Amino acid sequence: MNNNLNKDISKFINYLKKEIRYSPNTITSYNNDLKEYNNFIKLKKIDYLNINKDQIREYLKYLDQLKYKKSTISRNLSALRHFYAYLEIHNIVKTNFFKSIRNPKKDKKLPNFLQPDELQKIFDSLKVETPLEIRNRLIIELLYATGLRVSELTNIKLNSFDLENQEIKVLGKGNKERIVYFGEYAKKYLKLYLEESRPIILRNHQSEYLLINNNGHNLTSRGVEDIIDKIVKEASLKHHISPHVLRHTFATDMLNNGADLKSVQELLGHSSLSTTQIYTHITNERLRSVYLKTFPRQTERFDKTK
């Protein structure tokens, strides 16, 4: 039985190479995945031509026990779907048993965010002596104060914001318009930039956009990323910090300071509340850490009954 599976896998891999012309990397991955499947079939003495859903679930459990990542398990399932589709086309099996098996849910990656001391290091490192330094300070202030995406930041026009009411009209993903707000620090540097820096940086050019690069043209997202890279280096922070990290920091700090999830969702411009809920994992972990460190009856030495 196992010899037949070996033969069918070899024919399938040959079919992928010569007829479908998959990339060498995909063929190698599929071949390795099918070898692992072959090991399982041999170990459990299963008839691969009559495998059932319970046995497939057992196989997924087997891969999990081997410490396979969910992405690797998903690729393994993809290889088996294609393999059994090939067997079905060639009348070796009547049904593609793997068609109805869903991929495991992907692990949600927790967003990176700045700790308060890291954020303070960035602000402390910022000088405001030249027009470009004032502009750079404004970039950091606005990203942290508003939670804007970098593309939204670079698309702010002069008629998009209200300095006195401290609000900006933003065009986000899917051309959805929303209002974001900024605090006194951002207001201070926005005013300073508009009055003293922008006219100098503009160099007699005309632009309807707020942020201008050193050549007097609109600042791009890539330009903002380069500015932040330089600031992070000067602040002596070791890890990479993107504009999106400041967005994550804004959301995390808002929730940590009592903002409700729905408000944060609207400020970030998320279409779904489930997207914003990822930040609750961070804030919950922080609360758990604070609790474990501070609750007095967390250790035996506080138990007076002993």
Q: Catalytic positions, please? A: 149, 173, 244, 247, 270, 279
Could you give the CA distance from residue 147 to residue 48 in angstroms, rounded to a whole number? 53
Could you give the CA distance from residue 147 to residue 125 in angstroms, rounded to a whole number? 21
User: Quick one: CA dihedral 34, 35, 40, 41, positive or negative?
Assistant: positive
Could you give the CA distance from residue 185 to residue 86 in angstroms, rounded to a whole number? 63
